[in-house]
Structure formats: C-alpha cells, structure tokens
Amino acid sequence: MSTESPPTAQQHPLLRLLQRKNVLSGLMFIAIAAVGLWASRNYPVGTALRMSTGYVPRLLCWLLMGLGAIVLVQGLIEPHTPEPARERTAEDGVIAQLRPVVLVTVGLITFALTLEPLGLVLAILALVVIASFATRELKFWEALAAAAGLSVLTWAIFILGLGLPIQMWPDW
C-alpha cells in the first residue's frame, strides 16, 4: 500500500499551467475569436478591394486569435513563480476593487457627453484624466501625454483620414 496522497490542484501540472494569467488570457482571446468567427460564418467576405459585411469582423477575429496564441505561448514559456502572500490593506476592500471599473466608465460617459459641446481635444483630455485616477501608478504628466497622443491619433484617423465632421475645439 502506498501512503502517497493523490495529486492536489497545486501539484497537478495542467492546473498549475492554468493558474498563470497569460495562459488564461490567451485562452480567453482565442475563445472569443472562435465565437466571433463562428457567429460570422455566414457573412459574405468579399475581397480586399471590394470588402463585404463579413470582411472586417472576420479579420479582427483572426487578429485576436493570433494575439491570443502569442499571449498563450508567452504564458507557457515563462517560468511560474508563485506570488508571495501579502497582508490585507485598506485598498483590498470591495469598493477599492471597483474603483478602476467605475472611473473608466465615468470617463467614457464624460467623453460621450462632452464631445459635441467641448470638442474632441477637451473631451479626450477629460476622458484620460478621469480614467487615470483608476490607478495610483500613473503620473499626471503621463496622463497628459497620453491625452495629447490620443488626440493627435484620433484627429489623424477620423478627421484627416475619414473626413468625419468632428469639431476639434469648442465654439466659444
């Protein structure tokens, strides 16, 4: 008779692999892409010059699946070191855990409500500044730099590239 106990969740190699964040993220990306490809299976794709309704959704699903595969492989290759246990702090509460979700949502709602009256630049600035409070690691100048870069990129894509009539600044 053997006195060895059966393998637990910590000892089983497959379950140890699934405890890695990159492995789970990669599998999630691949699963979402697979569902998207299945949902768009009956859409006409067309060609690169004459795209049909299914071209972009399927392209994005394939890109997401490729990204998921890259993240999954990175998770499988990296050595797993268990995170050390830390003491509970005041920031571990439920409200503190909801802070990023609430602030990013408030930032997006602020962007939607201020885009027309304040213009693109100030709406993006409000979005980024409000959402930057979701983390304590981000410095204020980094948020301003991100807002400036996002404003330039949005201008280049939507106004310059696509010719959409979005005002950049308010009409005061």
On whether the CB atoms of residues 118 and 83 are closer than 8 A, the answer is no
Q: Specify whether the backbone of 170 is left (phi greater than 0), alpha (psi in -120 to 50) or beta.
A: beta
Is 8 part of a structural domain of the chain?
Answer: no
Q: Is the dihedral of CA 133, 136, 141, 145 positive or negative?
A: negative
Is 131 part of a structural domain of the chain?
Answer: yes
Same domain, 70 and 20: yes
3-state helix, strand, coil in the chain (%, to 5): 65, 0, 35
Q: Is the dihedral of CA 61, 63, 66, 70 positive or negative?
A: negative
Is 166 part of a structural domain of the chain?
Answer: no
Q: Is the pLDDT of residue 54 over 90?
A: no
**Distance from C-alpha of 170 to C-alpha of 123, rounded to nearest angstrom:** 10
Same domain, 98 and 156: yes
Same domain, 104 and 70: no
pLDDT at 120: 95
Tokens at 110, concatenated: 């602020």
Any idea which residue has 């691949």 for tokens? 30
Same domain, 113 and 143: yes
Q: Kindly indicate the confidence band of residue 9, based on its pLDDT and cuts at 50, 70 and 90.
A: very low
Number of domains in the chain: 2
Q: Is the pLDDT of residue 7 over 70?
A: no
SS3 assignment, position 89: coil
Same domain, 98 and 69: no
**Structural domain for 56, as ranges:** 13-77
- Region 144-169 average pLDDT: 92
Q: What mean pLDDT is reported for the chain? A: 86
Q: Identify residue 109 by its one-letter amino acid code.
A: I
Last residue of a domain, one of 77, 110, 126: 77
Is 5 part of a structural domain of the chain?
Answer: no
Is 50 part of a structural domain of the chain?
Answer: yes
pTM over 0.85: no
Same domain, 131 and 106: yes
- Region 61-65 average pLDDT: 96
Tokens at 30, concatenated: 């691949």
- Region 114-123 average pLDDT: 95
Is 88 part of a structural domain of the chain?
Answer: no
Last residue of a domain, one of 24, 45, 77: 77
Same domain, 114 and 72: no
